[in-house]
Amino acid sequence: MHGREAIATLFRTEFARATMVCEVEQILEYGEWAAMEWRDPLGLRGCGFFRVRDGRIVFQRGYFDQLSFFRQHGLAVPDHCLG
């Protein structure tokens, strides 16, 4: 996904689906790169990787168990997640 509007639309849509809480466990930095490990109060865990240039995130990738997230929040699994 590219561009501020596409990112903003994704976050508006996803954050409207469930109450999400991210408690940072640790942040590691090396040059332009950072990694964040997190957990939520329901026990879900994940991590995110970021590349930052000139104070802006130019790359982000995150990992967590999306199926567990859907189940914890009583959400239907979207068809595009079922393969």
Could you tell me the CATH number of the domain that includes residue 45?
3.10.450.50
Which of 34, 13, 14 lies closest to 24 in space, CA to CA? 34
- Is residue 39, in this structure, part of any structural domain at all? yes
Long-range contacts, 13-16 (Cβ 8 Å, 24+): none
Q: How far apart are the first and last CA of the chain?
A: 20
Give how many domains the chain has, as a whole number. Answer: 1
Q: Are 49 and 34 in contact (CB under 8 A)?
A: yes
Residue 32 is predicted with a pLDDT of 97
| Distance (Å, whole) CA 38 – CA 82 | 25
Which range marks the domain in which residue 33 is found? 22-81
- Is residue 12, in this structure, part of any structural domain at all? no
pLDDT averaged over 10-residue windows placed end to end, the chain, 83 residues = 84 81 95 96 93 94 88 83 73
Residue 39 is predicted with a pLDDT of 94
